[in-house]
Amino acid sequence: MSTRSFPAGDRHVASPRRSSPSPLPASALSRRRFLKQAALAGGAIAVPGLIPASALGRDGAVPPSERIIMAGIGLGGRGGHDLGWMMPEKDVQFVAICDPQKARRENIKRIIDNRYGNHDCAMYSDLREFLALRTDIDGVLIATGDRWHALAATLAMRAGKDVYSEKPSAMTIAEGRAVVETARRHRRVYQTGTQRLSEGNFTFANELLRLGYLGKVHTVRAHIAPWDAAEMRHDWLPAEPLPPKDVCDWDQWLGPCPWRPYNSQYVRGGWRGHYDFHTSCIGEWGAHTFAQCQVAIAAADTSPIEYQYVNNDSGDGMVTRFANGIRMILNRGGWQGTAGGWKGSCGVCYEGTEGWVSVADGYSKCEVSNPAWLAEQNKLVRDYMERTQRPMSHVRDLLNCIKSRRQPIANPSMMHHSMTTVHAANICMWLKRDMKFDPVREEFINDADANRLRSRAMRDPWIV
C-alpha cells in the first residue's frame, strides 16, 4: 500500500507502511532467485500469465498492495465480536492470532480461515515472538483483559504496528501516558474501543450540545456499571494444577500483574473484580461514558479538577468538576431524573439552561426535552460527518486513518484523559476523601497517597 501524508499542521507525521513479508525459507528464496535469473537469460522458463482479478483490484476486490494486514491479540468474546466487525471490510485481511490460551488461538484461527477459505492464519502464544517475527503486519486488534491493553498496545506500536485496543485501555494514569508517548514517538495510529463516539444517536446528542441547542451546559451524567464495586479484591483464588504451557501459558496470561498461583476461574473471566486485573465498576462503563461526555464538552484533552467522595461501594452519585465549571456526575444503573434519564447500558445525559438530551444503548432515538429537535437528527449527523470527515463506523474510522495517517476520533490523548478520570475517581473512592487534581501536571494536589496510586509496579519483563 502506498505511503500517504496529511497536512503539515497535524502533529503526527506520515510513516511508510510495511509491505515486506515474513522471512521466507531458503528453498523459496532459491526458487525466486532462479526464476529471476532465467528471465534475465531470455525467458527460457514459461511463467503462467493468468493473474486473479482480486490481485488487480477488479470485481470490487482490493488489490494486495492496498490491503491492511491485521492480526489479533487476545481475542475472546469481545474480541471475536470485533473480529466479525472488521473482517467484512474489503481492505482488511487478518493473517494471525496471538493468545496464551490454545483453545482461543484455535477458535480464532477457525473463524479467520473460514472467512478467507484457506488455512493460512498463523498462531502464536508468545507476544514477543509474534511481534518480532511478523514484520508484514500493519495493525493489531487487542482485546485482552484490562491488565494487558496498554502494555500490548505499547509493545505493538514499538514494533511498528497501528492499534485498535479494547477498553478500559489503561490500568493506571502512568500506563495511559505511556500509550500517548509511544504513539507520538513511533508515529502510530491508535484507536481505543469507545465505539459510541462513532454511532448516530450518541453523535446527535453531542451535536445538540456543541451547537447550543441545550443552552449553557452545566451538568453531564455518565453511566457506570451496575455490578462489582469500586473497592476491588486483593486476595488470590486457591491454587490449581498448572496446565501445560501450550494449553495456557500462565506467565504470558498474567503479563505485568504480580505472580500468583494458577486458577482456572481467572482465565474464564473470573479476573473481574480483582485489583490486579480490573478497573472496577467505574472503569467498566466509565471508559465509554466519560469519553463520550468529555468529547461532548470539549474536554477530551483534560480531566476534572475536583472529585467528591460518596460514601457507598460504587461511586454512584460522585460529582466531578472540570476547570470550565461543568460537573460530570457518575450514576449507576438506570438513572431517572427531571432532566431525562436512561434505560439501557452506557447512558449519558447532558443538561443545559435550554434543555437536555439523554441516550443509551438500544435507543431507537434520543430522549430530549424538546421533541422538535429529533427531526434534525439525520441532518446534524450528516453535517458532523462532512465537517469532521468521520464515518459512523468506529472500525472504518481506524482503517481510514491507517491509510491517511490522521489520528482517529478515539485517539491516544482522548483515551488517556478519559481514563485518567476513571483512575482518579477510583482513587477517590479507595482513599475515601475528596480530591483535587491538576490535569496538566497529571498529579493530585497535596496528596502523596493519591499520587502513589497513579502507577503500579509491573512484573519483569512485562514493563512499559
Q: Tell me the angle at which helices 412-431 and 173-186 cross, rounded to the nearest 10 degrees.
A: 170
- Length of the chain measured in residues: 464
In a domain, 333, yes or no: yes
- 384 phi, psi to nearest 5 deg: -60, -45
How does pLDDT run across 154-165, given as a tens digit for each residue? Answer: 999 999 999 999
Q: Which CATH number goes with the domain that contains 329?
A: 3.30.360.10
| pTM of structure | 0.87
- Measure the CA–CA gap between 148 and 151, rounded to whole angstroms: 5
- Measure the CA–CA gap between 343 and 362, rounded to whole angstroms: 9
Q: What is the domain range of residue 335?
A: 196-230+279-452
In a domain, 15, yes or no: no
In a domain, 312, yes or no: yes
Q: Which helix (H) or strand (E) holds 89?
A: none
**What is the domain count for the chain?**
2
- Measure the CA–CA gap between 307 and 22, rounded to whole angstroms: 50
In a domain, 16, yes or no: no
Q: Which of 18-22, 104-108, 181-185, 417-421 shows the lowest mean pLDDT across its residues? A: 18-22
Q: Taking 80 as the threshold, does the pLDDT of residue 5 lie above it?
A: no
Q: Do 400 and 292 reside in the same domain of the chain?
A: yes
Q: Which CATH number goes with the domain that contains 75?
A: 3.40.50.720
- Measure the CA–CA gap between 438 and 445, rounded to whole angstroms: 7
Domain boundary among the residues 195, 222, 253 is at 195
Task: Give the residue from 218, 222, 220 showing the smallest Cα distance to 347.
Answer: 222
Q: Do 172 and 190 reside in the same domain of the chain?
A: yes
Q: Do 284 and 393 reside in the same domain of the chain?
A: yes
How does pLDDT run across 244-275, given as a tens digit for each residue? Answer: 999 999 999 999 999 999 999 999 999 999 99
Q: Taking 50 as the threshold, does the pLDDT of residue 32 lie above it?
A: no
Confirm if 227 and 245 have CB atoms less than 8 A apart.
Answer: no
Q: Do 221 and 314 reside in the same domain of the chain?
A: yes
